[in-house]
Amino acid sequence: MTFLVETRGMSERALQIAARVEHFVRGTVVPYEKDPRRTPHGPSENLVLALKAEARAAGVLTPHILSDGHHLSHRETACVLISSGLSPLGPIACNVSAPDEGNMYLLGQVASPQLKARFLEPMIRGEMRSAFFMTEPAEDGGAGSDPSMMKTNCRLEGNHWVINGRKTYITGAEGAGMGIIMAKSEDGACMFLVDLPNPAVRIERVMDTLDSSMPGGHAVVSIENLRVPADAMLGQSGEGFRYAQVRLSPARLTHCMRWLGAAIRANEIASEYANRRVAFGKPLIDHEGVGFMLADNLIDLRQAELMIYWCADILDGGVLGTAESSIAKVAVSEALMRVADRCIQVMGGQGVTGDTIVEQVFREIRAFRIYDGPTEVHKWSLAKKIRRDWKKANEA
Ligand SMILES: Cc1cc2nc3c(=O)[nH]c(=O)nc-3n(C[C@H](O)[C@H](O)[C@H](O)COP(=O)(O)OP(=O)(O)OC[C@H]3O[C@@H](n4cnc5c(N)ncnc54)[C@H](O)[C@@H]3O)c2cc1C
């Protein structure tokens, strides 16, 4: 493999899958980066299908889930997903992008065999996209950083739940074949699996956003008297946040993996530019100001990689890893933002153009500092943990 990879303790099978994914992304996916079927709201459905067909043919579709349904470990997944991220289109082609990858993980962990057959298996086969409906519009006073503010409600009528509310920033809602919808009953939060499209789940609009790599973009959605059979609830009424926890840490970490791959590629492009481009009589990299930026990139990339493997090992130990995934998410998203910004600076005017993927990586990573918990919210929850731990130690 040609990029940073912590191979110590990595299984042979994961290294082989990662090498196949890297070969596929660099050789087959990268040429699609100029495909006109890319839209400001993400790659069109047509392009997504073409990319998935390529991945299927190359044997790298959903490569982190084995043919017997078992997932690679989190550490192994890291190696594979970093490789997929080497192009912003790579995760979509390989069927490991958000929100599908996190949704597949959740269903694999907690869904009944019937719900797995109906929703999970078509997703693993790359035949269906999904969306995760939690956040609500700020203007409604709904759930955002604070999910307990959830306003979308559900009530039991016979053997159906009836759901009403509004959601926002719902990635991939447009074009999704299924949704995981969160709503509150009198017992607390609940999670439902819903076939899409559904006339009771109306896309109000797809927003114009800074990022542009997610198929379907990000939508504001109205849910009006959506009737869901009682057996399509995941777990029990009131357990929704517990299930959200199952998805939370792994999904944060897989975002880190994919965006690390993208930042590695951006850094390769910037390094190439700095070695070839001459100014004031020598290659840019020989000017200390530029060389140091690339050196700082290497340091940030390596630290991000080690942070991901550290957190993956903790999740592989079978714990939720809530605090550790907060630490990793903040450290990696902030480090990759610095890397992407330096790449643009090193490349001068070309860095801000669409001629390379560097400007896209910069935009995407900016958004990553907000979704799956803004940096400040993670720091706030870590500070609360420090306080709790201190009290426990001092009250004992
Ligand atoms: C590109 C993108 C894709 C997304 N996809 C989805 C999706 O598919 N499904 C879904 O349900 N949601 C999705 N989201 C929503 C995302 O999870 C929320 O944006 C995030 O939880 C923050 O909520 P908010 O935007 O309402 O910000 P707010 O809650 O309004 O917070 C605004 C800012 O206030 C600060 N802040 C908040 N609380 C604290 C605190 N305790 N301490 C210090 N500072 C604080 C932070 O800086 C934060 O950025 C997506 C968001 C983006 C940008």
Q: Give residue 93's pLDDT.
A: 98
- Per-residue pLDDT at 276: 98
Q: Does any ligand 1 atom lie closer than 6 A to the CB of residue 138?
A: yes
Q: Is 145 in the pocket of ligand 1 (CB under 6 A)?
A: yes
- Report yes or no: 225 and 200 within 8 Å, Cβ to Cβ: yes
Give pLDDT tens digits for 239-266.
999 999 899 999 999 999 999 999 999 9
pLDDT band at 271, cuts 50/70/90? very high
Of 170, 221, 377, which is best to mutate to test ligand 1, by the most ligand atoms within 8 angstroms of its C-beta? Answer: 377
- Amino acid 6: pLDDT: 73
DSSP 247-260: HHHHHHHHHHHHHH
Measured from the Cα of 210, ligand 1's closest atom is: 1
The arithmetic mean of pLDDT across residues 337-353, rounded, is 98
Rounded Cα distance, 11 and 320, in Å: 23
Number of H helices, E strands in the chain: 12, 11
Residue 127: what residue type? E
80 lines ligand 1 (CB under 6 A): no
Nearest residue CA, atom 52 of ligand 1? 371
Decide whether any atom of ligand 1 lies within 6 Å of the 381 Cβ: no
Residue intervals in the chain for CATH 1.10.540.10: 12-97
Atom of ligand 1 nearest to the CA of 133: 11
Q: Over the stretch 148-196, which tens digit does the pLDDT of each residue have?
A: 999 999 999 999 999 999 999 999 999 999 999 999 999 999 999 999 9
Determine whether the shortest distance from the Cβ of 144 to ligand 1 is under 6 A. Answer: yes
Measured distance CA(218)–CA(232) in Å, rounded: 24
Stretch 104-112: mean pLDDT: 94
Share of the chain above pLDDT 70, in %: 99
Angle between helices 322-346 and 240-276 (to 10 degrees): 20
DSSP 164-204: EEEEEEEET-TT-SEEEEEEEETTEEEEEEEESS-TTEEEE
Mean pLDDT of 336-346: 98
Does pLDDT of 2 surpass 70?
no
What is the pLDDT averaged over residues 354-374? 97
Q: What is the pLDDT of residue 1?
A: 56
pLDDT at 4 over 80: no
| Mutational pocket test of ligand 1: of 136, 169, 248, 385, the residue with most ligand atoms within 8 Å of the beta carbon | 169
CATH 1.20.140.10, domain 241-395, yes or no: yes
Distance 377 CA to ligand 1 centre (A): 9
Question: Sorting pLDDT into bands at 50, 70 and 90, what band is 8?
Answer: confident
> Other C-beta atoms within 10 Å of 208: how many?
10
Q: Is 207 in the pocket of ligand 1 (CB under 6 A)?
A: no
Q: What is the pLDDT of residues 38-57, one digit of tens each?
A: 988 899 999 999 999 999 99
Is the pLDDT confidence value at 9 over 90?
A: no
- CATH entry, 12-97, from 1.10.540.10, 3.40.50.11540, 3.30.360.10, 3.40.640.10: 1.10.540.10
CATH 2.40.110.10 in the chain: give the residue spans.
Answer: 130-233
- What residues have CB less than 8 Å from 234, skipping those under 6 apart? 106, 110, 111, 115, 180, 191, 192, 193, 240, 243
| Confidence tier at 7 by pLDDT (50, 70, 90) | confident
What is the residue whose two structure tokens read 């047509």? 46
Which one of 371, 372, 381 would you pick to mutate in the ligand 1 pocket, going by the greatest count of ligand atoms within 8 A of its CB?
371
**pLDDT surpasses 90 at 214:** yes
CA of 247 to the centre of ligand 1 (A): 17
How does strand 278-279 pair with strand 282-283?
antiparallel
With a 6 A CB cut-off, is 312 part of the ligand 1 pocket?
Answer: no
State the pairing for strand pair 130-133/178-185.
parallel
Answer yes or no: is pLDDT of 369 > 70. yes
Which residues are CB-neighbours of 298 under 8 A, at least 6 positions away? Answer: 267
Residue 345 tokens, joined: 């600076």
Superfamily of domain 130-233: Butyryl-CoA Dehydrogenase, subunit A, domain 2 (2.40.110.10)
> Whose CA is closest to atom 19 on ligand 1?
371
Burial class (CB in 10 A: 0-12, 13-18, 19+), 35: middle
Is 368 close to ligand 1, i.e. is its CB under 6 Å away?
no
Q: 280: burial class by Cβ within 10 Å (0-12, 13-18, 19+)?
A: exposed
Rounded to the nearest angstrom, the distance between the alpha carbon of 231 and the centre of ligand 1 is: 30
Q: Is 135 in the pocket of ligand 1 (CB under 6 A)?
A: yes
Residue with tokens 């993980």: 105
Would the pTM of this model clear 0.95, i.e. be above it? yes
Average pLDDT of every residue of the chain:
96
Alpha-carbon gap, residue 77 to 316, rounded angstroms: 11
Looking at the chain, which residues constitute the CATH 1.20.140.10 domain(s)?
Answer: 241-395
Decide: 310 in ligand 1 pocket, CB within 6 A.
no
CA count, 13 A, side-chain hemisphere, 3? 29
